[in-house]
Amino acid sequence: MMIVQAEERNMYDQYWLINHLKESHGVMTIRKTLAQVEAEGLVLPNGTLVVDGRPVAVVYFRAGYAPTDYPSEVEWSARLLIEQSSAIKCPSISYHLVGTKKIQQELAKPSVLERFLDNEEDIAKLRKCFAGLWSLDNEEIVKSAIEKPDLFVLKPQREGGGNNLYGHDLRETLIRLKNEQGEALAAYILMQRIFPRASLTQLVQGGVCFEELSISELGIFGSYLRNKDKVVINNQCGYLMRTKVSSSNEGGVAAGFAVLDSILLTDE
């Protein structure tokens, strides 16, 4: 079962995957919104998730990552129903939450990586890649960010592009959040801004080729499957390279800020 939005804009790649699963593996897929799952779904005493009369083995979330995907208690009820079942969730709620900025901040704290890794050399390599991450209850960092906003990025606990705040917007938001206090502070994380090296790139837009300074971001895909505390699969399985013009703060492909790219490794 593929969880989708009521007005889905990414349906074409979803149908491609549905057809591939059917033609290559004989696996049938149904597409449902969270509201439909709540109306048509139930969990049997043995844990089996049944939706519209059909048992579901895997739930693949293509929706459910933004606050707008949960406009009412109906959607939250559907998410709970899915989590309570024995169906494989992609992702489960725990794996979903691991992707939040708050968890990134926690992993960057001293002695936390040691809970998960034994090799000191591997730990040192990971820490070398970490940028500074702070919660907004750190008054000194918040003060520094208000004074020098260009050195920071204000990130909400959100998926996807188009949500980060920079420069003047960052300063104004921090001042407002400081005055409001309360739970609003927990919705954001302050991050040290990264200034990667830009390179001259050939780009095509509207059929016209031009050169522009650009920067790229490499993401590694992972396949991860566990049964309670037993990890069955934990492998890397490919990559995604996104390239954008260096003048753009955002980097989302679907949001229109970046393009898909590929890597050329050299000895230099």
pLDDT digits (tens, 9 = 90+) for 58-105: 999 999 998 889 999 999 999 999 999 999 999 999 889 888 888 888
Residue 199 contacts residue 212 (beta carbons within 8 Å): no
Nearest to 222, CA basis, from 212, 232, 235? 235
- Copy the structure tokens of residue 118: 């034994």
pLDDT digits (tens, 9 = 90+) for 248-257: 887 778 778 8
Task: Return the pLDDT at 204.
Answer: 87
CATH class of domain segment(s) 2-95: alpha beta
Domain 199-261 adopts which CATH fold?
A: D-amino Acid Aminotransferase; Chain A, domain 1 (3.30.470)
The strand pair at 49-51 and 54-56 is best described as antiparallel
Q: Which CATH class is domain 106-192?
A: alpha beta
Q: In which element (H, E) is residue 152 found? A: strand 152-156
For 9, other C-beta atoms within 10 Å of its C-beta total: 7
- Give CA–CA dist 268/266, Å, rounded: 6
Contacts of 58 (CB under 8 A, 6+ apart): 1, 87, 88, 89, 90
